[in-house]
Amino acid sequence: MAAKTKFRGSFTALVTPFKNGSLDEAAFRSLVNWQISEGTNGLVPVGTTGESPTLSHDEHKKVVEWCIAEAKGRVPVIAGAGSNSTKEAIELSQHAEKAGADAVLIVTPYYNKPTQEGMYQHFKAINDAIGIPIIIYNIPPRSVIDMSVDTMKRLWELKNIAGVKDATASMVRVSQQRAAMGEDFNQLSGEDATILGYMAHGGHGCISVTSNVAPRLCAEFHVAWQKGDHATALKLHDKLMPLHNNLFIESNPAPIKYAMSLLGKLDETLRLPMVPVSEPTRVAVRSAMVHAGLIN
């Protein structure tokens, strides 16, 4: 029997704060507590939004440990542990399990461009090496490969494969996956702008970039949806939509770090090759934050 997860609602794909070239532990721990106090349902450290490509392995592991330690079991932690090296993904996944993560988020191997069989064997090797649930992260725009529903269905037969973070932005895919794997397959959107449609097609929640800066509004959207109050959900979606759009004018996480710096949550510091956003994007992000009522 496959692992089951009941992850529902708003999960934040956490940014990683930096200061003077190093990790900013105090800002990160403060961010975790703020997210939980604002109603966020779960936390996802060291994904793409957390700049995992430019963190050392030691830094990556520290961020996972800090997140778990600070969350104190109040909300689930899905630790980013993916890599285009299967061996590396196994090592990061085993560390996350040992640290106490509730699940791991494993991206489809980018750059290598494995076949569907290669993807299956990659996830199977990780599945066989750990004992906690695995959320497949399917993000064709960044990884250049798209895991098919058939491959997901094969993986769903393994003991630790629990669900998907779906960043295909395809509404059809949600229904196809639900038809193939059933309601127990935990479907989380990875695309903020499509979340309303994603939930309508039977999704369970969102691993969100926007919720870094608007955690309460994102959480309230999911509460309204779960209550069947679709009118309130639509109003909240409209309030958040400019953020959902404008936070991706330039590559994530540069815009979201700028937005969070406006709230005084962290320094707008990124690691190369990521750079701070241009002035037109700053104007657009500020405008979206005003629209959402986050700043004056």
CA dist 247 → 32, 39, 195, 208 (Å):
20, 21, 15, 11
Burial class (CB in 10 A: 0-12, 13-18, 19+), 262: middle
* Residue from 61, 62, 165, 239 carrying the catalytic annotation: 165
Q: Which residue among the candidates 137, 198, 239, 257 is catalytic per the annotation?
A: 137
Distances 234 to 71, 198, 228, 231, 279 between C-alpha atoms, Å = 30, 13, 11, 5, 30
Cβ neighbour number for residue 280 with a 10 Å cutoff:
10
Among 189, 296, 193, CA closest to 240: 193
Q: Would the annotation count 249 as a binding residue?
A: no
258 is catalytic: no
* Count of C-beta atoms within a 10 Å radius of residue 251: 14
Catalytic site residue 110? no
The residues, ordered by sequence, that sit 6+ positions from 176 with a Cβ below 8 Å of its Cβ are 149
Q: Is 49 annotated as a binding residue?
A: yes
Look-up: residue for tokens 């491959």?
Answer: 151
Closest CA to 160 of 190, 186, 199, 189: 186
> Per DSSP, what are the bridge partners of residue 23?
18
Q: Which residues are annotated as a binding site for pyruvate?
A: 49, 207
Active site residues: 137, 165
